[in-house]
Structure 1
Amino acid sequence: MKHNMQILQELAAANGPLCVGLDTDPSYIPPSVLAKYDSPAQAVLAYNTEIIDRVATAKSACCFKVQIAYYEAMGLEGMRVYEQTLKAVKKSGLACISDIKRGDIAATAGAYARAHFSGDFETDIITINPYMGFDTLKPFTEYAQKAGKGMFVLLRTSNPGMTDIEQKELKEGGRVLDGVGAELERLSKEFASFYPEQTCSPVGAVVGCTEESDAKALREAYPDIFFLIPGYGAQGGAARIAATLLKNAGGTVNSSRGILCAWKKSPTCLQKEQDGSLTMDDIGDAAGAAAIEAKNDLLSAFAAL
């Protein structure tokens, strides 16, 4: 049995490294289009479905990353849309990453693992925050063994505040994030014996692409770990930095607003918005074109290394 990170690694090799982030906020949808739906949540579902269809059909991405916070913010209906979005991604044939960033004491972590690796919100891969201690990872890694699930553990994030904790020097030497990296290496070796035929561990790392020196150092330090790479595009990360992180075991590079809000940079869409004829289909077309452009940008940067 292939674990889900292995499947994602193979999809990235086949389709290119782009991950489309469905961090979908109703405010991204123009009011004239939003008004055509019974609720903002239903508009978000239609928006997501259009984008998933365009991206999957064009094979311009290897996965989608669904950020749960945007759906929680819409209440119960939002969580139903979250569930339906996960199903739409699954149906597309691409991998699904649920960006939940959970991390808590073992018993609570076990409940989070059940919630997102089974039942209504079942997904392929999740994001985990390890900074409450490595014992919080165990309930999730157990699902990697018994059900082939995957997880991306926060290592070096893309936000400016990551210097507050991740970059702090330890008395015994190295940074806090180096301690996380050592644990990821240990888990990778442990899973190597469990999945001897596969080319990556089910435990990957989140590594932002907003600083070139860090990107090079972390890719060299952890050559066998598959990366989820945020920060590209709207957050300021350059394609050349993301490409550096795609070496060795590879990775997937997330773009959210650059694709979700692509219609705002389309002269055709803007003109249609002005005259009141803009449709969700037009927005989906703009997102699909932006995904193809992002994929080509990343592949070109990687080829130039």
Structure 2
Amino acid sequence: MKTIPIDGVIGLEVTTASVRSALAGAEDVELHIHSPGGSVYEALGIHNLLAAHRRAGHRITARVDGLCASAATYIACVAHEMHVPANGVWMVHSPAAMMIGDARAFSDAASHLEAVEAMMVDAYSQRTGRPPEAIATEVAAETYLYGQQIIDAGYADHLTPTLERLPEGQAQALAFAKGALADAQAQLRTQGEPLHPERIAALIAPSATRQTPPPAPQPEPSAQAERERILGILAALEASDPRTQTALELIADPHISVESAARILARLPAPGAPSDRPRGPSEFEKHMAALGNPPITPDGDGDNEPASVDWAAAFKY
């Protein structure tokens, strides 16, 4: 499936010519739309190109990436199916034009705009399955729709969440493990102890000698796995390891596995390792050495003051 972006102003960033070129040799296509609209006549041309491509037996999918407004909505309506994000924006309104001329010119322009609006209302009505009268009212009022409202109005078919939510069991496991981690850190701070990895691990790990009447239920497998992930990351550290803060940040991300965390921590300087790599002399230092390392002193006219460095020559490199 070929992707065709409909990004920017119709008639400027997106034209009939650019879409025709993109359709050459394509079969099924996916439109990615993020546009405030633009030239309604360019939109008519693009709409008709896509309609012909659809009649040729090719499938057209439209995905609104953010905003689909004005003339861009007319382009989107040609798709077999449309996806919009939960925070997507859809806007329909009457076409408009700027005119200079006499009364007859303005009257002719009004007739043209009314004809174009009727075509757009018809396309919206076919897309949504709603009567043209209801669509015409929305268009005349300049209607904005958001997320689920776009689905409810019949313009789009699928709502895409902006962020994927964790499964309920995994979310509970993460909350359980994060709570244990937060409790361990708070306990160490209260006791005035440093946040050493082995102390945090000892407080998080279940203790065989700890007695709590009645016995606490065993954590769910998902919670146990999250706890083991935290302990595995902490096990990669040593006491007073400067990488502890990085490890805690890795723990906070449930998508970081023990193996991935170990690879990340391995790239950081270990305790006692030099923090800076030895470096050779810079290009400026090499050049000054070639000049005999002249002293850097203020210019002066006194007999006892050293001669000034020829800085024009010194910086010719």
Confirm or deny a common fold (TM above 0.5). Answer: no
Rg comparison, structure with higher value: 2
More helix by share: 1
